[in-house]
Amino acid sequence: MKKRDKGAVIYHRVFAHEDFDHTAHVLLRLLRNAQRACPGAPRYLYLDIDGHRNADGGFDEDMFELQSKFMAEFLLQFLTRAELPLGSVRNRKPQNDEIPEELDILKVDPPPPDGPERGKQPRS
């Protein structure tokens, strides 16, 4: 984190061996540190991602979800602006300074592509 005249700059580089869970926890810790060092100051996140590419050259599922869903649905509320490999996003609401101490990430396995196993009926 780097202090600047009008806020706190947070930079994080995701390495190829780091997954979604690890990165999400690191980002939350960096936000808490920025809030402690510069209470109430605007926070600007700059994120770089090494590797994490799929066969088509796009981001793998973890890093795509981190930049899209996790950022939009959770992390952005604690920032003023984020510069991500997928693009820039700005928080249009007042920045939330109540950053949680813990992050509970629930991983849900997707259903099988053909639905429930054949011959088995869902329980009622």
DSSP 86: T
- Flag whether 119 is in a domain: no
Whole-angstrom distance between the N-terminal and C-terminal Cα of the chain? 52
- Flag whether 116 is in a domain: no
- Flag whether 26 is in a domain: yes
- Flag whether 112 is in a domain: no
Distance CA 51, CA 63 (A): 10
How many domains is the chain built from?
A: 1
pLDDT per position as a tens digit, 45-62: 999 999 999 999 899 999
pTM of the model: 0.77
- Flag whether 86 is in a domain: yes
Residue 28 belongs to what domain range? 2-90
pLDDT per position as a tens digit, 51-93: 999 999 899 999 999 999 999 999 999 999 999 999 999 999 9
- Flag whether 31 is in a domain: yes
DSSP 14-57: E-TT--HHHHHHHHHHHHHHHHHHSTT--EEEEEEE-S-B-TTS
